[in-house]
Amino acid sequence: MQQKEQLKEIIDVLTELCEEGSIPRNVKAKFQDVCNSLKKSTEISVMVNQALHELDEVGDDNNLQPYIRTQIWNIVSLLEKVSS
């Protein structure tokens, strides 16, 4: 799978999470920031590093439900595959 396709898949997952009713607004805002970062036409490694940094901050939120944190870890894994 090409990097652009992988990024689109990640954006789709983040968009679905943003539509989830049980996710706090601040987390949804971070997910939206990550989506916007991944849509930029900059170098892929820069986009991925920025997204990983944002998701790392979100993953440390104590108010997250466990399944959301698991989704974040899955997205981080996908991003790491894109950057390799």
Alpha-carbon torsion (36, 55, 79, 6), positive or negative? negative
CB 15 within 8 A of CB 23: no
What per-residue confidence (pLDDT) applies to 74?
92
Determine the structural domain holding residue 37 and report its residue range: 3-83
CB 72 within 8 A of CB 55: yes
What per-residue confidence (pLDDT) applies to 76?
92
pTM, two decimal places: 0.84
CB 37 within 8 A of CB 50: yes
Q: What is the pLDDT along the chain (84 residues), one digit of tens a residue?
A: 588 888 889 899 999 988 888 888 888 898 998 888 888 877 888 888 888 988 988 888 787 888 888 999 999 999 888 877
Q: Number of folded domains in the chain?
A: 1
Q: How remote is the C-alpha of 81 from its chain's centroid?
A: 13
Residue 5 tokens, joined: 């396709």
What per-residue confidence (pLDDT) applies to 65?
85
* CATH number of the domain encompassing residue 17: 1.20.1440.50
